[in-house]
Amino acid sequence: MARIKTEKNTTRKDVIVSKAAILFREKGFKAASMRDLAESVGVEAASLYNHIKSKTELLHELCFSVANCFLQKLDEIESEPIPAIQKIEKILRFHIVEMVNNYEEVYVSDREWKHLNDPYLSNFQNQRRIYRKRLAAIIETGIKNKEIKPIDAATAVLILLHAISGIESWHRSKQKITAAALEENMVTILVGGLTV
Amino acid sequence: MARIKTEKNTTRKDVIVSKAAILFREKGFKAASMRDLAESVGVEAASLYNHIKSKTELLHELCFSVANCFLQKLDEIESEPIPAIQKIEKILRFHIVEMVNNYEEVYVSDREWKHLNDPYLSNFQNQRRIYRKRLAAIIETGIKNKEIKPIDAATAVLILLHAISGIESWHRSKQKITAAALEENMVTILVGGLTV
DNA sequence: ATAAACCGCTAACACATGTTAGTGCAAATA
DNA sequence: TATTTGCACTAACATGTGTTAGCGGTTTAT
């Protein structure tokens, strides 16, 4: 009957959500059972329900906390008075750092959102669509200003975002280069690929 | 008691595998049930087992047929007497075309292989690792020959492969540019990003 | 110290899952 | 035509699933 151990400023629910992220990443949302999660938290499955409403609630929390984090940063960067290509680079770096540091959450948000239920699902998809449109708009500005090659902006966004999700492979690989080196390499290739 | 309809030179198993690809892509392997699959084939769930051994067998078939296809092409391109950067471009174009044309299969192979069981799982992971090493070797040759920027080859591979898997978004999007335009844009950005 | 809130437990549920057994019709083969 | 094989069906099973009910102890607040 040992309680879930919490560190300072974290609720027991936080602990569960964060263990869920790890589990959902490694097995996928559907394949991860509440009994698995319970075991990794150190408790019986039914006990989880003293803290959460349902399994999907865990997915909501993960998906939307990640989405909000990126949206907020985009707001910030969009309003800075710098060239478009620098905005793109900043956003790219932020994505990379987030993917490196909050791997589990970001990965789950990226790959498992399909299993959200409406209305969360449509909501999430909308947010995502709008986010990409805003990125595309920045790129188009850069193209107008001759900072960026005249390419299809939507395609560029697609490449950027998916390349970032490739950091998953870096996380899993044995001989990792440092996170900083990874970041520089990615920026070199991707920003280099966009720049005129 | 209507039989599964087959077209010329396709077995009933082929029909099942190919419906499975569609289903696995849209719901994920775990979330797609044999009853779902049966319905999409137009038959009762139990009837599927007259043609296949198990649900995972479907995943084997999909994953390894895609993997073999790419391996074979790599063999071919590797032995051509052309500069490294051109080899990379050729492979990239091949990946793009495959992802555009055999979307379901390639996507499933890329995202759902986690749910394979040993020994298939280790096998697949090995093939994948080796494939990436071979791509990295080509890039390293290109770096030595001053065709390609001095970047970390493994990171470049990771970006290339994941960028390609982003074609998923293109498939889903409403206002698609043409497949040919997509290919050119991707090559411009990615090969451009690698080239010195 | 007493009351109240918290929280982990056992037991159980309703249901979906992959899969097997066995039956009988229809197609292919002889 | 006769026979064998192919194949779809119904029924069922064993297991894993998310989740609820209700008990009793522990921590927190009064």
> Protein A50 CA to nucleic acid C6 C1', in Å?
9
Share of chain B above pLDDT 70, in %: 99
Q: pLDDT by residue (tens digit) across B33-69?
A: 999 999 999 999 999 999 999 999 999 999 999 999 9
Residue A30 has pLDDT above 80, yes or no: yes
Confidence of residue B195 (pLDDT cuts 50, 70, 90): confident
Instruction: Measure CB to CB from residue A189 to each of B151, B167, B182 and give the nearest one.
Output: B151
> Protein B51 CA to nucleic acid C21 C1', in Å?
16
* Token code pair at residue B189: 């950005």
Confidence of residue A175 (pLDDT cuts 50, 70, 90): confident
Q: What is the pLDDT of residue A163?
A: 95
This prediction has a pTM of: 0.92
How confident is the prediction for chain B on average, in pLDDT? 94
Q: What is the pLDDT of residue B108?
A: 98
Residue A194 has pLDDT above 90, yes or no: no
With left for phi above 0 and alpha for psi between -120 and 50, is residue B5 left, alpha or beta? beta
Confidence of residue B7 (pLDDT cuts 50, 70, 90): confident
Q: Which residue has the tokens 């200003």?
A: A145
> Which residues, in sequence order, are CB contacts of B10 under 8 Å at separation 6+?
none
- CB within 8 Å: A28 and B188: no
- Higher pLDDT pick, A193 / B66: B66
Q: pLDDT by residue (tens digit) across A67-95?
A: 999 999 999 999 999 999 999 999 999 99
Indicate if the alpha-carbon torsion angle A20, A26, A30, A33 is positive or negative: negative
Q: Which of strand C's nucleotides are less than 7 A from any protein C-beta?
A: 6-12, 16-22, 25-27
> Which residues, in sequence order, are CB contacts of A113 under 8 Å at separation 6+?
A59, A63, A121, A124, A125, A128
- CB within 8 Å: B194 and A193: yes
Q: Locate all alpha helices (DSSP H) within chain A, ordered by sequence.
A: 12-27, 34-41, 55-78, 84-101, 103-111, 120-144, 153-165, 167-172, 179-194
Q: Give the residue among B35, B55, B36 at the shortest CA–CA distance from B46.
A: B35
Q: What is the pLDDT of residue B1?
A: 60
Residues near strand D (C-beta below 7 A) are: A 1, 3, 32-36, 45-46, 49, 54-56; B 1-4, 12, 43-47, 50-51
- CB within 8 Å: A31 and B167: no
Length of chain A: 196
CA distance B64 to chain A (A): 20
Q: pLDDT by residue (tens digit) across B132-191?
A: 999 999 999 999 999 999 999 999 999 999 999 999 999 998 888 999 999 999 999 999
Q: What is the pLDDT of residue A112?
A: 97
- DSSP string spanning A109-155? HHHSGGG--TTHHHHHHHHHHHHHHHHHHHHHHHHHTTSB-S--HHH
